[in-house]
Amino acid sequence: MSETTKKESFFTRLLTDNPVFGLYLGICSTLAITTNINNAIGMGVAVTVVLTLSNILVSAVRDITPDDIHIPVYIVIIATLVTIVGMVMQAYTPALYTALGAFIDLIVVNCIILGRAEAFASMHPIGASAKDGLSMGLSYTLSLLAMSFIRQLLGTGIISLSNPFTNEEIFALRLIPKGFEVPMFTSQVGAFLTFACLAAAIAAYKNYQSAKAKEAK
């Protein structure tokens, strides 16, 4: 497989297998915390770390875990990792931890993480499971960034980013003049509208790829 084909395949998987807009998983946290880019990056990194490490650990213990208790074992692994990540965030990024609130703890029941543990990590070696966790985590993070960028820009007219460790502003750019913002996008209605538009775009792309594959056959 050529490098170009590999890149196209990876890009296609990020879209068609996107956990938020393609598989409709983890929607609650996506709608709630994507009011700004800082929240999106914080949650994306937290989920990616938990997803990757849980995939590795689940893969490592898959051969010694009895079938009748494998789900509780996976949940204990995920809950432990979430607790550690939450404590690290509370210690080093308190402002971000406060902004994300209960959604940090709710990573435990995020369908993406348990779903990948059950559907992939429990049946594949550690290396492949780690790669799957990183891939799905990146896809989830990109979904959050896309939603937060649109909502923050249209809702406030400003795109900004702060240092999560010091809470100091790194940059703030006003791209929409004052008076032309659409405050609705900072509310729940804006979250649902943004999600619907992006999900529809992904669905259209998947339909295009399916039609293209049928024509090729």
Q: Are 59 and 74 in contact (CB under 8 A)?
A: no
Secondary structure (H, E, C), 45-99: HHHHHHHHHHHHHHHHHCCCCCHHHHHHHHHHHHHHHHHHHHHHHHHHCHHHHHH
Q: In the prediction, which pLDDT does 150 show?
A: 96
Tell me the two tokens of residue 96. Answer: 């971000």
Q: Could you say which residues of the chain have pLDDT below 70?
A: 1-14
Q: In the prediction, which pLDDT does 12 show?
A: 63
Query: What digits encode the pLDDT tens for the residues 57-83?
Result: 999 999 898 888 989 999 999 999 999
Q: In the prediction, which pLDDT does 9 show?
A: 57
Q: Are 23 and 15 in contact (CB under 8 A)?
A: no
Residue 171, strand partner residues: 161
Q: Of 157, 38, 152, which is closest to residue 98 (Cα–Cα)?
A: 38
CA distance 189 to 187: 5
CA distance 132 to 54: 11
State phi, psi for 170 to the nearest 5 degrees: -85, -45
Q: In the prediction, which pLDDT does 8 show?
A: 52
- 212 burial (CB, 10 Å; 0-12 / 13-18 / 19+) is exposed
At 174 the three-state DSSP class reads strand
Which DSSP letter does residue 172 get? E
At 157 the three-state DSSP class reads coil
Query: What digits encode the pLDDT tens for the residues 153-184?
Result: 999 999 999 988 888 889 999 999 999 999 99
Which DSSP letter does residue 184 get? G
Q: In the prediction, which pLDDT does 25 show?
A: 84
